[in-house]
Amino acid sequence: MLRNPSMGIAQVVVALFLTSIVGLGADEQSKQDVPVVVSAAVPFYPPDAQMAHIEGVVRLSISIDGEGVTGVERLDGQIMLARAAMANVKTWRLHWHRRTTLEATFRYRLLPDSVCEFENPTILLRLPLDVEVTAKGLKTCDPTGEIRPKEHGGPHP
């Protein structure tokens, strides 16, 4: 069962595409070069990053031994987000494939306050090359009744 303190199961919309390639051109990686992920944990927005209003793109280099991930290296991206992405990649199990190294991109995005009431957080997986995770931004209440995002210092007297 999926549990996350910042998102309930009913709020999570998961579109899981266990395909080897989505939208790559002829000059990019060919289908046989990309392994198929047959099982993986669902990635969630890291709660600390969500509370700190951190969003961004993480690029990882992933080494594969044929059935699983043997190594993950952060190429680019905010460290809190990268830790969550790296932990998720380590849960991947693959349909047998030759040893290889590939690059994956994780995109973490907080929904704008204006759409938080109308749009649910989403997780979109195009494994193993692309993952997108959205979440609602967290707010704190001002004693004057004004709601301010935590990134602006939270409540002010």
Of 75, 17, 83, nearest in space to 45 by CA: 83
Give me the pLDDT at residue 31, please. 53
* Dist CA 85 CA 73 (whole Å): 10
Give me the pLDDT at residue 112, please. 82
Amino acid at 122: T
pLDDT tens string for the chain (157 positions)?
Answer: 344 444 433 233 333 333 333 333 334 445 557 889 999 999 999 999 999 999 999 999 999 998 899 999 999 999 999 999 999 999 999 988 899 999 999 999 998 876 556 667 889 999 899 999 999 877 643 344 454 554 544 444 4
Give me the pLDDT at residue 136, please. 83
Q: With left for phi above 0 and alpha for psi between -120 and 50, is residue 153 left, alpha or beta?
A: left
Cα dihedral value 76, 80, 82, 85, nearest 10: -160
Of 40, 133, 35, 36, nearest in space to 90 by CA: 40
With 0-12 / 13-18 / 19 or more C-beta atoms within 10 angstroms meaning exposed / middle / buried, residue 148 is middle
Cβ-contact 128, 62 below 8 angstroms: yes
Give me the pLDDT at residue 149, please. 53
How many helices and strands (H and E) does the chain possess? 2, 10
Give me the pLDDT at residue 88, please. 97
Give me the pLDDT at residue 33, please. 75
